[in-house]
Structure 1
Amino acid sequence: MTTGTETAPFRRAIAIDDLGGGRFAAELGPHWTVGPKAHGGLLLVLLTRAGLARLDADAPGAAPDPLAVAADFLRAPDPGPVEMTTEVLKLGRTVSVVAVRMSQGGKAMLAATVTAGVLPDDEPQHADLPDLAPEPPADAFDPGAGQSVFGLSTSCDLRFDESSMTFMRREQGPPVVRGWTRPRDEPTDVLFALLAGDILPPTVFNVGGRFGWAPTVQLTALLRAKPAPGWLRVESRSRVVAGTWFDEDATVVDAAGRLVCQARQLALAPLG
């Protein structure tokens, strides 16, 4: 379990134990949370690790990288132990697929499919990416400074682009937020890029004073390349905020300027 102050807190937080028979166990720590609930990005990473471990057990080395993760959030797990069961749906030369179910206390929490293969090393022929500096500027907001209650900032480095987060000034603005993140005391890898697709505050906070818990209902992430060392820059935006629902598209770009993760989710908006 991570305390948020030890070395390599991300790697510790995503540790899994092989229980045999395609079953895996993990411990959700108290610092990778949003409020009292486990962070959705970290849950995706744990599901992915279990799925990749199952595929590697059945066909060693055949599908080393996650290509896509699609998850339905059935309930929100609390910090504490969880169990994951896996079922291989396809073993292929290019693409393999495994279903992963997460439970806690005998109740189903998340259901996902992990699509795996080999991430490309080629330079992209086309890329339409957000205009963000490779590293956070000196005036970027650090949610881990002072009396912050943003739990994730105790476990990884985070910086927010305040100009995009109008809610921090008690103003309204477009549902677009931007920031930077990187793990602490360990390399930036594809699993942290996956987590970064759900790392920023909800875009809906900028719209109409909607603050509070915004639970994810469904999230699909595409992994596009292995990230270069250093900061990841992230932009999240909503296309439609309507009634109790909003969508969110996140784009994650590495320090070398390559797209490494795209994440789209459907979530419930907090009450105004």
Structure 2
Amino acid sequence: MTTGTETAPFRRAIGIEDLGDGRFTAELGQHWTVGPKAHGGLLLVLLTRAGLARLAADAPGAAPDPLAIAADFLRAPDPGPVEMTTEVLKLGRTASVVQVRMTQGGKAMLAATVTGGVLPADEPQYAELPEMAAEPPADAFDPGSAETVFGLSTSCDLRFDVSSTAFMRRAQAAPVVRGWTRPRDEPTDVLYALMAGDILPPTVFNVGGRFGWAPTVQLTALLRAKPAPGWLRVESRSRTVAGTWFDEDATVVDAAGRLVCQARQLALAPLPR
């Protein structure tokens, strides 16, 4: 179980144990949470690790990169043990696909498909990226220094762009939030880039007093490249907030200015206050 003072808290939090027969177990810690529930981005990483481990076991000598993960959030797991079962749907030369299901206490929590292959190393021929500094500016907000600590800031480095977090000033603005993140005491790798696609506060917080728990219902993430060392810059934006639903698109760019992750989710919006 991870704590805010351990070395490499992200790596510790995503440890999995092979139980054989395509089954894996993991322990959800107390610090990678949103309120009392496990953080959705961390759950994606655990599902991805289990799926890639199964693909590597079925194709000895292969070490596939994660290319995509599509996950349905059926229930929100609590801190504690979870079990993951895997089923290979395709083993291919370019892309392989494995189904992963996560359970806790005998109940289904998440169901996902993980696509593995080889991430490109070439420079992109075209990229349309958000305009953000490679590192957080001096006036970026550190949620770990606040009186009410944003939970994830105890286990990773986070900074918020103050111009995009109107909800922190009890104001309203467009549903766009920007920030920066990096792991502590370990390299910035592709699995951390995956988690970064769901690491910022919900964009809907900026809209009409909608502040509170905003559970993800479905999330699809695409990994585009292995990140360079250093900070990841993240921009999340909603296209539509309607009724009880909102969408959120996250773009994750590494320190070298390369797109490393895209994530799109459908989530439940808190009721206006």
Q: TM-score, normalised by structure 1?
A: 0.99
Measured after TM superposition, the shift of residue 63 of structure 1 is: 4.9
Contact 1:62–1:93, Cα closer than 8 Å, also in 2: no
Partner residue of 1:22? 22
Q: Following superposition of structure 1 onto structure 2, how do residues 1-20 of structure 1 map, counting pairs within 5 Å?
A: 1-20=1-20
The alpha-carbon deviation at position 62 of structure 1 amounts to 3.0
- What whole-Å deviation, never above 9, does each CA across 1:47-72 have from its counterpart, x for those lacking one? 00000000000102435200000000
Match of 1:34 in 2: 34
Q: 1:128-186 CA deviation, whole Å, 9 max, x = no partner?
A: 00000000001100000142331100000000001001111111000000000000000
Counterpart mapping for 1:120-199 below 5 A: 120-199=120-199
RMSD: 0.7
Q: Partner letter of residue 43 of structure 1? A: L
Q: Distance in 1 between matches of 2:187 and 2:239?
A: 33
Q: Which runs of 5+ in 1 are unaligned?
A: none
| Local SS of the residue matching 2:145 | coil
Query: Number of paired residues?
Result: 272
Counterpart Cα distance in 2 of 1:147 and 1:10: 23
Q: Percent identity?
A: 89
Match of 1:240 in 2: 240
Post-superposition Cα deviations, 1:63-111, rounded to whole Å, max 9, x if no partner, equal: 5200000000000000000000000000001100000000000000000
Question: Contact 1:140 / 1:160 at 8 angstroms: preserved in 2?
Answer: yes
Name the structure 2 match of 1:221: 221
**SS of aligned partner of 1:100:** strand
Q: 2:56: which partner in 1?
A: 56
- The answer as to 2:84 corresponding to 1:84 is yes
Distance 1:200 1:271 in 2: 19
Give every structure 1 segment of 4 or more consecutive aligned residues whose post-TM-superposition deviation is greater than 6 Å.
Answer: none
Structure 2 residue ranges without an equivalent (≥5): none
Distance 2:98 2:36 in 1: 29
